[in-house]
């Protein structure tokens, strides 16, 4: 192989690796986005509470109420 072919092959491999890493990071952030969105909504819903303990209890109740209900089947 000559030098220009090796350079093109190396550049192509580097581009493929970079795109794979970028795809993995984007997928990770998208999969983790929904829970953070629910936490932000719970914080907004419980913003009227002055004390942190009351706000935390309100957020826990709000999150529990907003979770979808699933019924186990046999």
Contacts (Cβ under 8 Å, ≥6 apart) of 55: 43, 46, 47, 49
What is the span of the domain harbouring residue 56?
Answer: 3-66
Identify whether 51 is part of a domain.
Answer: yes
Identify whether 31 is part of a domain.
Answer: yes
pLDDT of residue 18: 97
d(CA 31, CA 63): 18
Identify whether 21 is part of a domain.
Answer: yes
Contacts (Cβ under 8 Å, ≥6 apart) of 11: none
Reported as a single tens digit per residue, the pLDDT across 26-62 is 888 777 666 778 888 999 999 999 999 999 999 999 9
Identify whether 71 is part of a domain.
Answer: no
d(CA 24, CA 65): 32
Is the whole-model pTM more than 0.85? no
Our count of domains for the chain comes to 1
Identify whether 74 is part of a domain.
Answer: no
């Amino acid at each position: 192989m000559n030098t220009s072919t090796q350079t093109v092959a190396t550049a192509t491999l580097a581009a493929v690796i970079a795109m794979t890493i970028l795809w993995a990071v984007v997928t990770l952030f998208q999969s983790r986005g929904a829970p953070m969105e629910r936490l932000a909504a719970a914080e907004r819903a419980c913003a009227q509470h002055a004390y942190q303990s009351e706000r935390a209890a309100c957020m826990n109740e709000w999150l529990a109420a907003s979770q979808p209900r699933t019924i186990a089947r046999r």
